[in-house]
Amino acid sequence: MGLLTRRPCGIVTESKVLVCSLDTRFRDSLEADSSVYSKYYRGVRTVFFSRMSDLLRAIESGYDIVHLFSPLSPTGLVADGQSTTLSGTDLIGKCCESEVKLLWIANENEARDYVKGFNAAGKPLNLIMTISRNGAKFDRFLDELLSRVSSGETLPLAWVSLVPQAQGPWQQEVPGCIFHAGRAAVKLPGVPRDPSRSSP
């Protein structure tokens, strides 16, 4: 896992989340990840897109987090069920234009395909690219990460807390991902906590 570039940014009032897929094969994972997001965020939309244009239109409507399932071609292209393709770099650009703060490619793809197709250098976007979900450990990791981030911790700080930047046995307990921190200072708050619930 890598922690790359950083760029400061502001604070979101209450984050909107799009959990989506361009491939029906990821239906179970889509529903599982969506249920985790729903624990921490009110504005979660979960949807399968059959057309790339529908995905791009949804991104344009204003989401802070886009959690996407899509297989990649060997050249890093994202494709819909109609064989319409978009490079990962162009997807990053579309997200930046629409003020997306975090784009997470949530299904497993080859690292080389990400390297070929996703160029986020200099882009104001946090980008997570999944290489291995590591089975059920992915949703446990997602839960722990969102718990921190939705409470006001920046993504890079939450990431380093869960993914130490050194090799060790802990690597067997987390998914394999590449993390590009292009919008490091942004905060993605979730549902405000009810103070009465923390009282004895």
Q: pLDDT for 71-106, tens place per residue?
A: 999 999 999 988 999 999 999 999 999 999 999 999
Which pLDDT value is given to residue 194?
47
CA angle 46, 52, 58 (to 5 degrees): 45
Q: Is 139 exposed, middle or buried (0-12, 13-18, 19+ CB in 10 A)?
A: middle
User: What end-to-end distance do the CA atoms of the chain give, in Å?
Assistant: 40
Which pLDDT value is given to residue 164?
73
Q: What is the pTM of this model?
A: 0.89
Enumerate residues 6+ apart whose C-beta is below 8 A from 126. 101, 102, 103, 155, 179, 180, 181, 182, 183, 184, 186
For the chain, what is the mean pLDDT? 89
Mind giving me the DSSP string for 91-144? HHHHHHHTT--EEEE-S---HHHHHHH---TT-S-EEEEEEE--TTHHHHHHHH
Which pLDDT value is given to residue 163?
86
Which pLDDT value is given to residue 7?
37
Ranges under pLDDT 50 in the chain: 2-9, 194-200
Q: Domain map of the chain by residue range?
A: 16-193
Which pLDDT value is given to residue 168?
57
